[in-house]
Amino acid sequence: MDNAPLVLLLLVGLVVVFGLGVVVLNRRKAGDRVAVESPPAPSIEKPPSVAEPAPLAPTRRFTKAAGIFTGAFAGVRAREKITADTWDDLEETLLRADVGLTVTTSLLSGVRSRVDKKEVVDPSGLVDALQTDMAAQLSANARELIFDASVKQPNIWLFVGVNGVGKTTTIGKVAFAQKANGRNVLLAAGDTFRAAAGEQLQTWAARVEVPIVRGNEGGDPSAVIFDAVQSAAARGCDLVLADTAGRLQNKTNLMEELKKVRRVAEKDAGTVTEVLLVIDATTGQNGLSQAAQFTEATNVTGVVLTKLDGSAKGGIVFAIETQLGIPVKLVGLGETIADLVVFDPEEYIRELFDSEV
Ligand code: GDP
């Protein structure tokens, strides 16, 4: 019986070990249960992602028109020195972009004299100087569309230009913008020589929900516009947007017709406050020579340059403004109703010169 305490100790030890085992097992089970039963961590416990929103990419509206310039200017900037090649590159770029020979020559001789005087010493400075000079050519012109509440009402805006340049489409877009501006607009379908022109304008009038006055096909355009102006005055409309013919039997007839349209439009009510010449940017220098003829026939107050979304010849803007002395007031950037923007020369220059915009 001497072993009795030892046996007792052994028994106590066994009980303790057993007890510990049970406790551990229970804890494990409990742990398992918690893991299974716990609901998925609610997402609100996670701090919401607070990453900075990515800055909005600056919109480039003139990508196509700027195409010829941006790559070439970046190439010139990358050069180490101003060499004969630099001048050749710049000249080729300006001509390819349809800036025109006269304007290109005068721009380059301006910067060349600054290089000669050591005011400009490297290729990057040369591109900067060109940018300043090109910007200066555009910035001086007033570009607001003229609406004058003090003249004999309504205001009449005549749209002139050859067939296919985008006159009808532009009138639709301008009607939409002016109506949104609070003006009471009426359309005059003065292109009675092109069969589809009246139909097309009618569709725009329905889309924008403005009244339209049409005449008979082949009828006298001046008479249609006169009637439209009377109708606008009677209805209290303050703005008539008048389409005109883009082609007659010959150029002389067309120009005489336009002179007559203008005279007759103002005969009774109404005042012509804008004559907007519509030019298709994709026609380049050709558009420019058309423009010269129109400016001889009527007092053109502004240019609408259409299809700039499809033309790489963005230099035409400089040719128009410097050679014709007429401000580009509106720019067409597509075929839909909202694709007409007021021309902003600063934005334009920025896009032409900065490939990183
Ligand atoms: P109009 O004969 O001078 O009246 O010319 P239209 O208004 O009928 O336009 C001729 C074509 O040019 C149509 O297919 C128009 O959708 C299209 N157009 C007009 N303006 C623009 C523009 O800014 N961009 C593009 N891409 N197409 C245009």
Predicted local confidence at residue 132, as pLDDT: 94
Does the C-beta of 244 come closer than 6 Å to ligand 1?
no
Q: Distances in Å between the alpha carbon of 304 and those of 41, 141, 205?
A: 61, 14, 20
306 Cβ closer than 6 Å to some ligand 1 atom: yes
- Ligand 1 midpoint to CA 90 (Å): 32
Q: Is 137 helix (H, G, I), strand (E, B) or coil?
A: helix
Pocket test for ligand 1, best of 61, 169, 337 (most atoms within 8 A of CB): 169
Atom of ligand 1 nearest to the CA of 165: 3
Measured from the CB, is residue 333 less than 6 Å from ligand 1? Answer: yes
Binding site membership of 247 for ligand 1 (Cβ less than 6 Å): no
Q: What is the reported pLDDT for 137?
A: 87
In contact, 194 and 247? CB cutoff 8 Å:
yes
Task: Please count the residues of the chain.
Answer: 357
Q: Is the peptide bond before 154 cis (omega within 30 degrees of 0)?
A: yes
Q: What pLDDT score was predicted for residue 19?
A: 52
Per-residue pLDDT of the chain (357 residues; tens, 9 = 90+): 456 666 566 655 565 555 554 444 444 444 343 333 344 444 444 444 555 555 555 578 888 888 888 888 999 999 999 999 999 999 999 999 999 999 999 999 999 999 999 999 999 999 999 999 999 988 777 899 999 999 999 999 999 998 889 999 999 999 999 999 999 999 999 988 887 889 999 999 999 999 999 988 888 889 999 999 999 999 999 999 999 987 755 667 778 888 888 889 899 899 999 999 999 999 877 888 888 888 888 889 999 999 999 888 889 999 899 888 899 999 999 999 999 999 999 999 998 888 554
* Residue 327 and residue 42 in contact, taking contact as beta carbons nearer than 8 Å: no
Among residues 297, 356, 355, 288, which one has the least CA distance to residue 326? 288
What pLDDT is stored for residue 29 in this prediction? Answer: 42
Distance of CA 251 to the CA centre of its chain: 32
Pocket probe for ligand 1: among 303, 306, 328, the residue whose CB has the most ligand atoms within 8 Å is 306
Pocket lining: 309 vs ligand 1, CB cutoff 6 Å: yes
List the residue whose alpha carbon is closest to atom 26 of ligand 1: 334
pLDDT score for 5: 64
Q: 10 Å Cβ neighbour count for 117? A: 8
* Predicted pLDDT of residue 33: 36
Dist. CA 55 → ligand 1 center (Å)? 34
Q: How far apart are CA 84 and CA 56, in angstroms?
A: 40
C-alpha span between 100 and 335 (Å, rounded): 27
Ligand 1 in reach of 268 Cβ (< 6 A): no
The residue whose C-alpha atom lies closest to atom 28 belonging to ligand 1 is 335
